[in-house]
Amino acid sequence: MSLTILVFAKQVPDTKNITGKAMKDDGTVNRAALPAIFNPEDLNGVELALALRERYGGKVVVATMGPPAAANILRHALYMGADESILLTDRRFAGADTLATSYTLAAAARKAGPFDLVICGRQAIDGDTAQVGPQLAEKLNIPQLIYVAEVESVEAGRLRGRCLIDGGYEIIESPLPCLLTVVAEANVPRPAGARRLMQYKRAVTRSELLARHGGRDYEDANVLAEEEASLRRRGLWIHEWTAGDLAVDPNRIGMAGSPTKVKAIQSVVLTGKGSKQVPPTDEGIAGLVHELIAEHILS
C-alpha cells in the first residue's frame, strides 16, 4: 500500500539562544530577538514520514503556518526528501493560540488532502503545550496516536504504533487515516542531502518570486505565470496559502480566534540551598521523614 502523508512543522525561536527581549508587550514572541530554527521534534516527524514512504511508497507533503521566513524550514524539508510543501502565511494568522492554530491547520489539511496519515511533532519548543496535534485530530475527526516512538507496521488500512507512556510503552492500533505526534526518540533525522540542497535551494513561494521582481507591485502577470509554471514543473514551487485560500472563519484564526493570552514569561533558575547528609540507617531515614512532614513537604 502507498501512503499519502502530511507533516505539520513549525519554525520556532531557538530558545537555547535568546539574544534579546524574548516576549513583546502584547505577550507574543519577539521573533526578531531570536534565531529561528526547525522545531526539533518536527524534524523527527519529517524523518518518520520519509522512512514510511521508503517502506510503503507514497508522497510526503510538509506544511507550516508562520511568517514568510518560515519558508526556510520548508526548503529544509525538501532537502531532506519531502515531495511538496505548503506555507500558510497571512497577517491574520498571527498571534494564534493552539485553538486558532489547530483550526487553521485543519482547514489546510482538508484543502490539501485527503491523507492517510497526518504527522506532528509532540510539542513545539516555544509554546510547549503539545496541544496542537491532539486538537487537530479532533477537528479532522480522525483517531490519534500520541508520543509515538515507532511505527511498527501499516497493513490492511491499519497502523500499529509504539507510544511512550510514563515508565514504559503501549502498543496502539488504529485505522487509517489517523494522526501521530512523534517524540524525539523515534529516530535520528537525516541531514539535508547535498544534491537535493543544490536543487531545492531555488524553491520559492509566490511572495519570494514577486520579491525577485521588486515586490508586490510587479504587474507582468505573463512573466509570473511562465516562471511559476516552470518552477512547478521542476518541483521548485512552494505553495503559499493565505486565509482567503482556506475556508476559514476570520473570527476563528490568529489573535481574533485566540482566547489564550500570554501575559508574561519568567526565567526560573532553580538554585540549591546546600545539601544535607542523611546517614543510611533507620534512625537517619526516620529523622528525614519527620523533617519533611514538619516542613509540609510530606503529609
Ligand X SMILES: Cc1cc2nc3c(=O)[nH]c(=O)nc-3n(C[C@H](O)[C@H](O)[C@H](O)COP(=O)(O)OP(=O)(O)OC[C@H]3O[C@@H](n4cnc5c(N)ncnc54)[C@H](O)[C@@H]3O)c2cc1C
Residue 294: which residues within 8 A CB-CB, separation 6 or more?
none
CB of 91 to ligand X, least distance (A): 14
What letter represents residue 234's amino acid?
R
Residue number, 28 or 174, with CB nearest to ligand X: 28
User: What minimum distance in Å lies between the beta carbon of 298 and ligand X?
Assistant: 31
Q: Which H or E run includes 87?
A: strand 84-88
Residue the block writes with cell 537525516: 190
Residue of the chain from 54, 128, 155, 185 that contacts ligand X (CB under 6 A): 128
Cα angle 27-31-33, degrees, rounded to a multiple of 5: 105
Tell me which residue has its CB nearest to ligand X.
127
Q: Is 184 in the site for ligand X (CB under 6 A)?
A: no
Distance CA 290, CA 49 (A): 53
- Rule CB under 6 A: which of 208-237 touch ligand X? none
Options 34-42, 169-177, 193-201, 224-232: segment touching ligand X (CB under 6 A): 34-42
The reply on whether position 129 binds ligand X by CB under 6 A is: yes
Peptide bond into 280 cis (omega under 30): no
Interface with ligand X, residue 96, by CB under 6 A: yes
- What's the one-letter identity of residue 78? L
C-beta closer to ligand X: residue 184 or 224: 184
Q: Judged by CB under 6 A, which stretch of 52-60, 73-81, 91-99, 187-195 contacts ligand X? A: 91-99
By CB under 6 A, the residues from 40 to 69 that bind ligand X are: 41-42, 45, 64-66
Are 147 and 114 within 8 A, CB to CB?
A: no
Q: How big, in percent rounded to 5, are the helix, strand and coil portions of the chain?
A: 35, 25, 40
Give the separation between CA 34 and CA 30, rounded to whole angstroms.
7
The binder of ligand X chosen from 4, 39, 187, 205 (CB under 6 A): 39
Q: Is 132 in the site for ligand X (CB under 6 A)?
A: yes
Q: Is the preceding peptide bond at 40 cis, omega within 30 degrees of 0?
A: no
Nearer to ligand X, 21 or 234 (CB): 21
User: Can residue 127 be called a binding residue for ligand X (CB under 6 A)?
Assistant: yes
End-to-end, the C-alpha distance of the chain in Å comes to: 57
The helix or strand, by DSSP H or E, that contains position 58, with its residue range, turns out to be strand 58-65
Per-residue binding string, ligand X, 104-123, x by CB under 6 A, is -x--------------xx-x
Among positive and negative, which fits the CA dihedral 237, 210, 109, 111?
A: negative
Q: Is 9 in the site for ligand X (CB under 6 A)?
A: yes
CB 201 → ligand X: shortest distance, Å?
Answer: 22
Query: Does position 10 bind ligand X by CB under 6 A?
Result: yes
Instruction: Record the cell numbers describing residue 11, joined without a space.
Output: 519554525
Residue with cell 515586490: 215
Tell me: does residue 89 bind ligand X (CB under 6 A).
no
Interaction of residue 8 with ligand X, rule CB under 6 A: yes
Instruction: Provide the angle, in degrees to the nearest 10, between the axes of the packed helices 98-112 and 132-140.
Output: 50
User: Binding pattern to ligand X, positions 240-259, x when CB under 6 A?
Assistant: --------------------
Q: List contacts with ligand X (CB under 6 A).
A: 8-10, 29, 39, 41-42, 45, 64-66, 96-98, 101, 105, 120-121, 123-124, 126-133, 260, 262, 265
